[in-house]
């Protein structure tokens, strides 16, 4: 039986229907899923009531998993391959460190020299309304630039900083942001990345980019803002409304995403992520 797909938006994404990721899966079937992943940038699997072990096991089929050494505070205490994205308070009652994870346009682990291939985010608990995530196609973003702009950005490198913008403003968040920066010094990444598997060019920017290497922040800012604004035009974006037991897989090499935070923060939102390691990209810069 061929894989049953339902496209999620014009720009990107497809739902994989009638697949239970916890069941044994042939190489052929997984190959079809992987091809769909490369073609659509994000894949949605609904109704996956699975264990953490099964989440990790399915994720491993995409490649070797990150043990999240770069994000030690958000790791699951028992499963280093699982990263918590939750507003459930810690056992001692203090607020969760990961409650603002992803609240800016980004591609996972872009602030390291081995940025992620892809991530698999599983939804456990979602507020009554909202808590959506936006995804943008960075292929479309690149392909719709003018030839002049493509030429201008061809050799630029953007300096990516770790840490979440929102939490850096909160008192408890400053220590966390400082720790993040210590573990993860700034990394310059090509602004145009060739996807290692499809060979297609994708824009690789986002709101973690502070400036271009070899340029001042003041010089860089207008172009960074233009590229981020262009890449996230509504027609290039898919907005996901979560249901419990959704698993969404995205390709970090040709998409960006953002957690909207469009919900009542007194309600619970609990997600868990695995992160597939990617190929090396970029270089560490001495000072941001």
Residues near ligand OGA (CB under 6 A)? 85, 101-102, 108, 119, 121, 133, 257, 259, 271, 273
Q: Which stretch binds Mn ion (CB under 5 A): 35-43, 97-105, 126-134, 264-272?
A: 97-105
DSSP track, 65-84: BP--TT-GGGB-SS-TT-EE
Q: Is 251 in the site for Mn ion (CB under 5 A)?
A: no
Give yes or no: 20 in active site. Answer: no
Find tokens 């229907």 and name the residue: 17
Query: Of 102 and 163, which has the nearer Cβ to ligand OGA?
Result: 102
Q: From the CB of 85, what's the least distance to ligand OGA, in Å?
A: 4
Show the tokens assigned to 61.
């089929």
Query: Is 273 marked active-site?
Result: yes
Is 257 marked active-site?
Answer: yes
Contact 43, 248 (CB under 8 A): yes
Distances 45 to 19, 220, 243, 247 between C-alpha atoms, Å = 7, 39, 11, 5
Assign 97 to helix, strand or coil.
coil
- Of the residues 157, 160, 240, 273, only one is catalytic, namely 273
**Residue 102 sits in the site that holds Mn ion (CB under 5 A):** yes
- CB of 271: closest distance to ligand OGA in angstroms? 5
Distance CA 94, CA 91 (A): 8
Q: Write down the least CB distance from residue 132 to ligand OGA, Å.
A: 7
Would you tell me how many other CB atoms lie within 10 Å of the CB of residue 60? 13
Residue 44 interacting entry, from Mn ion, ligand OGA, none, C-beta within 5 to 8 Å by type: none
Given ligand OGA, Mn ion, none, residue 85, with its beta carbon under 5 to 8 Å by kind, binds ligand OGA
Q: Which among Mn ion, ligand OGA, none contacts residue 230 (Cβ within 5 to 8 A by kind)?
A: none
Active site residue 269: no
- Of 66, 97, 108, 246, catalytic: 108
At its nearest, how many Å lie between Mn ion and the CB of residue 257?
6
Q: Which of 108, 207, 251, 272 binds Mn ion (CB under 5 A)?
A: 108
CB of 82 to Mn ion, least distance (A): 14
Instruction: List beta partners, residue 44.
Output: 15, 248
SS3 for 203-259 is ECCCCCEEEECCCCHHHHHHHHHHHHHHHCCHHHEEEECCCCCCEEEEECCCEEEEE
Contact segment (CB under 5 A) with Mn ion among 17-25, 101-109, 211-219, 245-253 equals 101-109
Residue with structure tokens 């490649």?
Answer: 63
Q: How far is CA 64 from CA 58, 67, 116, 156, 167, in A?
A: 11, 10, 10, 29, 30
Catalytic residue among 75, 157, 240, 257: 257
Choose from ligand OGA, Mn ion, none: what does 122 bind? Cβ within 5-8 Å by kind. none
Q: Which residues are part of the catalytic machinery?
A: 106, 108, 257, 273
Q: Contact positions toward Mn ion, by CB under 5 A? A: 102, 108
């Amino acid at each position: 039986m061929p894989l049953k797909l339902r496209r999620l938006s014009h720009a990107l994404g497809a739902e994989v229907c009638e697949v239970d990721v916890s069941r044994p899966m042939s190489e052929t079937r997984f190959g079809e899923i992987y091809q769909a992943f490369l073609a659509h940038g994000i894949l949605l699997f609904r109704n996956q009531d699975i264990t953490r072990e099964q989440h990790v096991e399915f994720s491993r089929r995409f490649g070797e998993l990150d043990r999240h050494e770069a994000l030690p505070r958000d790791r699951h205490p028992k499963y280093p391959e699982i990263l918590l994205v939750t507003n459930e308070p810690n056992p001692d009652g203090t607020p969760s460190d990961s409650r603002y994870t992803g609240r800016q346009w980004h591609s996972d682990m872009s602030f390291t020299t081995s940025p992620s291939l892809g991530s698999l985010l599983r939804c456990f608990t979602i507020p009554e309304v909202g808590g959506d995530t936006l995804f943008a196609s960075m292929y479309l973003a690149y392909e719709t630039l003018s030839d002049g702009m493509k030429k201008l950005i061809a050799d630029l490198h953007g300096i990516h900083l770790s840490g979440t913008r929102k939490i850096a403003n909160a008192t408890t968040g400053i220590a966390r942001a400082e720790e993040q920066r210590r573990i993860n010094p700034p990394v310059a990444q090509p602004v145009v990345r060739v996807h290692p598997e499809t060979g297609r060019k994708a824009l690789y920017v986002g709101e973690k980019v502070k400036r271009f290497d070899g340029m001042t922040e003041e010089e860089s800012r207008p172009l960074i803002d233009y590229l981020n604004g262009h890449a996230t035009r509504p027609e290039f974006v898919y907005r996901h409304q979560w249901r419990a037991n959704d698993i969404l897989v995205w390709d970090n090499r040709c998409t960006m995403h953002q957690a909207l935070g469009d919900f009542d923060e007194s309600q619970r939102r609990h997600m868990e992520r695995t992160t597939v390691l990617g190929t090396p990209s970029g270089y560490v810069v001495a000072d941001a």
